[in-house]
Amino acid sequence: MAAVVLVGAQWGDEGKGKITDFLAERADCVVRYQGGSNAGHTVEVKQEKFMLHLVPSGILYPQTLCVVGNGVVVDMGKLIEELDGLQKRGIDTSNLRISLRAPVVMPYHKKIDELEDRDSNIGTTKRGIGPTYADKINRIGFRIGDLLEEPDIFEARFKAQVAYKNRIINEIYNEEGFDYKALLDKLMSEVAVLKPYLADTSYLIYNCIKEGKKVLFEGAQGTLLDIDHGTYPYVTSSHPIAGGACVGSGIGPTSIGRVLGVAKAYTTRVGEGPFPTELNDEIGQTLRERGAEFGTTTGRPRRCGWLDAVILRYAARVNGLTDLAITKLDVLDSFPVLKICVAYRYKGSLLQEFPDNIGILSKCEPEYMELPGWQQDLSGVTEYEQLPDKAKRYIETIEELSGVKQAIVAVGPKREQTIVTQRLYT
């Protein structure tokens, strides 16, 4: 049984949490492979809402092995808080495993993220994500496993690193730095709490795949936030695309059988950066209100706009999408006319492909096609056949424009409001 990778096909917040949760119920193992506590998944189960940031959605099923892979940057304090919250609500977290190779988000990373974002204006979540990945690539970061073995070696490196970070914080930003000993004590108490969960997770996932178990890789953020393939520099610092699943978990590409792209029936983004179909009008406002488009992690209002098929075609290409999940279709219920962007107009020419230059993207105008809205409440629909013809036409148009068939359509936040037309796990 080959593994399934689930990715966001837009700028994140596509409703991946709900789809992951739906698939997680059928999976033996769910793996997070990138990002950190910048992610926020809301899962609704039997009137109960769960907000997950670092813990994979599979945690709601006691039999599912949940893995935080080596590609995830771990804020240990936040993870402990999240686990405490779940345990208090009766969720068994003993099936969680965290990679010993996962980089640790330090308090100075969060501080530097906040300070740097004042100048760069990316609009980060201030969770220390960029600075932690930067340190990893720069080979001056710390992995969770480093905190467990040979404490004297760790302490010496850590002391030097805190001194270096303090110089940046003091000299460039004129703010107070950190006391290394206090940080060290905090880290050691946190790692002691997490110790039972730490493991060589690549080996665990490898064995699951070898035994024919159902493995689901759960991407956070989305394709256009990918550090290489997104709208750089308005991106996150990891690889949300499907290829990131291999690097961020330590398995080979031959293990991946299907790639499910999750796309909202319209488009949103948080933070700064160009967004060709953005609507700064009443329609955008209606999408925000009906879709409850406010960040799970930061509470920020999301920017909203029409569906962009240029983006979906691009997502299909860079992720190798085999299937599509279309979420929040019900948010479009009230509109008499729906627009889909089919190409971009740039300096008199029509671009069919997503530009790889942020300057060009920021000057692209959307070229729309129009479709009639269904103006009917979809929230109670449970079978594809029950959808009004106009809603089916909207979905089929997305399939044609993206070149990917839909497997799942969501018409509301609850588990029951999920129409499945193709089984991803046999």
Q: Enumerate the active-site residues.
A: 13, 41
**124 touching ligand IMP, by CB under 6 A:** yes
Window contacting ligand IMP (CB under 6 A); options: 36-44, 58-66, 285-293, 319-327: 36-44
Window contacting ligand IMP (CB under 6 A); options: 119-127, 154-162, 259-267, 353-361: 119-127
Handedness of CA 196, 200, 206, 210 (dihedral sign): negative
**327 touching ligand IMP, by CB under 6 A:** no
Window contacting ligand IMP (CB under 6 A); options: 55-63, 80-88, 217-225, 392-400: 217-225
> Exposed, middle or buried: residue 16 (CB in 10 Å: 0-12, 13-18, 19+)?
buried
Window contacting ligand IMP (CB under 6 A); options: 21-29, 125-133, 186-194, 331-339: 125-133
State the Cα–Cα distance between residues 123 and 238, nearest whole angstrom: 16
**99 touching ligand IMP, by CB under 6 A:** no
**125 touching ligand IMP, by CB under 6 A:** yes
* Nearer to ligand IMP among residue 60 and residue 112 (C-beta): 112
> Tokens 């129009």 label which residue?
370
* Nearer to ligand IMP among residue 101 and residue 302 (C-beta): 302
Q: Out of 7, 9, 12, 136, which residue is the one contacting ligand IMP (CB under 6 A)? A: 12
Under the phi-then-psi rule, with left for phi > 0, alpha for psi from -120 to 50, and beta for the rest, what region is 53? Answer: alpha
The two structure tokens encoding residue 360: 């060009």
Under the phi-then-psi rule, with left for phi > 0, alpha for psi from -120 to 50, and beta for the rest, what region is 123? Answer: left
* Nearer to ligand IMP among residue 124 and residue 201 (C-beta): 124
* Nearer to ligand IMP among residue 214 and residue 288 (C-beta): 288
Geometric angle at alpha carbon 117, from 115 and 119, rounded to 5°: 90
Q: Which one, of 75, 78, 39, lies nearest residue 57 by Cα?
A: 39
Respond yes or no on whether the N-terminal peptide bond of residue 62 is cis (omega within 30° of 0): no
**38 touching ligand IMP, by CB under 6 A:** yes
> Exposed, middle or buried: residue 364 (CB in 10 Å: 0-12, 13-18, 19+)?
buried
Q: Out of 7, 9, 13, 76, which residue is the one contacting ligand IMP (CB under 6 A)? A: 13
The two structure tokens encoding residue 398: 């997305």
**267 touching ligand IMP, by CB under 6 A:** no
**237 touching ligand IMP, by CB under 6 A:** yes
Residues forming the site for ligand IMP (CB under 6 A): 12-13, 38-40, 122-125, 127, 129-130, 220-221, 225, 234, 236-237, 270-271
